[in-house]
Amino acid sequence: MPKFYITTAIDYSNGDPHLGHALEKVGADCIARYRRLRGDDVHFLMGMDEHSQAVLQAAEQNGVTPREWVDRMATTFESYWQRLECSNDDWIRTTESRHYRTVTALLEQVARRSPDDLFVGEYEGLYCFGCEEFKQPSQIVNGHCIEHPTLELVPTKERNHFFRLSRYRDQLLALIRSGEFRVEPAIRRNEIVRLLEGGLQDISISRNRQSWGIPFPGDTGQTVYVWFDALINYLSATDYPDPGYERLWPADLHVVGKGITRFHCVIWPAMLLSAGVALPREVWAHGYVQWEGAKMSKSAGTAVSLGEAIDRHGPDALRYFLLREVGFEADGNFTWERFDERYTADLADGLGNLASRSLAMVAKYRQGIVPDAPPDTMLDQAGLQAVDAYTRAMDSVDLRGGAEAAWTLVGTANLYIQQVAPWALAKSGKEAELDAALAALGRALYRLAVLAAPFIPGKAQLLWQSLGLPGDALFGTSVNLTAPPVAGLATNKPEVLFPKPQTV
């Protein structure tokens, strides 16, 4: 079983999660679930970034200690991810002792292996507390950070520890161009290549006398810079530097937002090169969820309540909508109207209606037992094509393409019912043809339960069980998409998968 170590970005503990966070987590979860289905030994990591200065401010504003604040935020985030059915195997928080240990070990390893990479210097520049980084002129528009147009940039000058990032430019360019270190999608790779071609500046990796953070090894007056600290979480979760950390490391896929590619595709691999640790294989940078054309974020005041979005049609519907309509590559729009349209067309009238009609006919005409008939219908052909297209898309992290392939089969199957008209076959006593149609529909539902599972795990499970199949088999490798073994299954009447809302 090939191992597949997948991570999401860890989130700042300074406010409740919104749809932008949710897109990343359900996208990564969809990939993790698909990989498990393929038979990979998946390890899926999520977590929290808890050392930002924004934590101190938020704790102060809310009259609690920073520790109490991050504990509260971690509970909030985790409960949302559980509601959205995230199947992460581990949950890391950068305030945990395992993380302190790895951050210290990695910095000590850099100092041992590449002593020239660390030096002390003075830094002066404009600092964005939203990003927790000094901003270059190219990152400033109208006097504000591009990512945080409502925050003031703060002129800052201090003596810090620096990392000789500039030294790694040529090596990183070569690794990215050769594909040894993959940056996807191509638009993000091109941005990073241009950035590298423009040259790199050395970066400050500590902050002066901050009470909240990891002490810099060998200099207790300094704290490890929160970004330098945060990136290392992916390694902390492997128990680096313990022998055996390579059971998980290198990460196979870091899923991050497009706004933090410089950290993940330049600084992080340079840190690892400096320490002599293997690089992650791939970084996937998704786009943003836009709300009426603007980036959704708390500081921009455009956040839609995540709880409201989940409550509208349930967690599976939100997962489906984010991955199918908003997408996991470029920016995409979220509107209630589109959400409702997709819910009705694709889920209630599409998959839900297909399942209830098909199972009702198996119940009515064959006492709930799926008949045995050869897989030679046009629906079986369409099923095999859907599996092919789905696999090709999902293997290249084209989640929208994967959903499209599955829901194309939904459309074909609903059309098949109309064309074949099983009720007419029953009426005219064409028993063999009726068997063929009901068996074909059984195989289509089997395939759809499997293909849809990474997107809508809860409802796919219900569909699977209503086919009379054992619950956990859906998520194992024993599924057979080439020749779904449905003959003789005792189906049961499913609960309505996607109820029609009262007011849409």
- The alpha-carbon radius of gyration of the chain (Å, integer) is 26
The residue annotated as part of the active site, out of 30, 128, 254, 459, is 128
Whether 145 is catalytic: yes
CA distance 387 to 377: 16
Q: Is 98 in the site for Zn ion (CB under 5 A)?
A: no
User: Per CB under 5 A, which region of 120-128, 228-236, 389-397, 429-437 contacts Zn ion?
Assistant: 120-128
Rounded distance between C-alpha atoms, residue 63 and residue 60, angstroms: 5
Q: Reply yes or no on whether 258 is catalytic.
A: no
Q: Which two tokens stand for residue 436?
A: 């063929």
Catalytic residue among 145, 264, 286, 459: 145
The residue from 30, 86, 131, 265 that is catalytic is 131
The CB-of-228 to Zn ion minimum distance in angstroms stands at 17
Residue 3 known to be catalytic: no
Which residue reads 């290392």 in tokens? Answer: 232
Task: Give the one residue of 130, 327, 332, 383 binding Zn ion; rule: CB under 5 A.
Answer: 130
Residue 147 near Zn ion by CB under 5 A = yes
Among 148, 169, 182, 281, which residue interacts with Zn ion (rule: CB under 5 A)?
Answer: 148
Looking only at Cα atoms, what is the longest distance across the chain?
88
Helix (H) or strand (E) holding 48: strand 41-49
Binding region for Zn ion (CB under 5 A) out of 142-150, 152-160, 383-391, 472-480? 142-150
CA 100 to chain centre: 25
The answer to whether 254 is a known catalytic residue is: no
Catalytic residue among 21, 25, 286, 313: 21
The answer to whether residue 430 forms part of the interface with Zn ion (CB under 5 A) is no
Q: How far is the CB of 145 from Zn ion (least distance, A)?
A: 3
If binding means CB under 5 A, how many residues of this protein chain bind Zn ion? 6
Tell which one of 31, 92, 131, 303 touches Zn ion (CB under 5 A).
Answer: 131
User: What tokens were used for 347?
Assistant: 């889920």
122 strand-pairing partners: 159
Distance CA 286, CA 327 (A): 8
Per the DSSP assignment, residues forming a β-bridge with 424 are none
Q: Looking at 130-138, 311-319, 382-390, 438-446, which segment touches Zn ion (CB under 5 A)?
A: 130-138
Residue 258 makes contact with Zn ion by CB under 5 A: no
The C-alpha atoms of residue 238 and residue 222 are separated, in whole angstroms, by: 26
Based on CB atoms, which residue is closest to Zn ion, 161 or 295? Answer: 295
Q: Quick one: which segment of 114-122, 143-151, 188-196, 253-261 binds Zn ion (CB under 5 A)?
A: 143-151
**Residues 397, 393: Cα–Cα separation, whole Å:** 6
Q: Work out whether 132 is an interface residue with Zn ion (CB under 5 A).
A: no
Residue of 43, 161, 264, 295 marked active site: 295
The smaller minimum CB distance to Zn ion, of residues 12 and 181, is found at 12
Minimum CB distance to Zn ion smaller for 80 or for 228? 228
Q: Which of 28, 31, 48, 145 binds Zn ion (CB under 5 A)?
A: 145
Give the residue from 436, 437, 442 showing the smallest Cα distance to 489.
442
The closest alpha carbon to 154, from 140, 138, 168, belongs to: 140
Amino acid found at 194 = R
Query: Using CA atoms in the order 365, 366, 368, 369, what is the torsion angle rounded to 10 degrees?
Result: -160
Closest CA to 164 of 238, 273, 31: 273
Residue 129 beta carbon to Zn ion: minimum distance, rounded to whole angstroms = 8
How far apart (Å, rounded) are the C-alpha atoms in residues 436 and 168? 63
Among 30, 46, 86, 128, binds Zn ion (CB under 5 A): 128
Task: List all residues 6 or more positions away from 234 whose beta carbon is below 8 Å from its beta carbon.
Answer: 7, 45, 251, 254, 280
Is residue 415 within 8 Å of 379, Cβ to Cβ?
no
Report if residue 153 touches Zn ion, rule: CB under 5 A: no
144 belongs to the catalytic site? no
Please report whether residue 203 would count as binding Zn ion according to CB under 5 A: no
Q: Does the annotation count 427 as an active-site position?
A: no
Active site residue 264: no
Give catalytic status of residue 298 as yes or no: yes
In the complex, which residues of this chain contact Zn ion (CB under 5 A)?
128, 130-131, 145, 147-148
Catalytic machinery residues: 18, 21, 128, 131, 145, 148, 295, 298
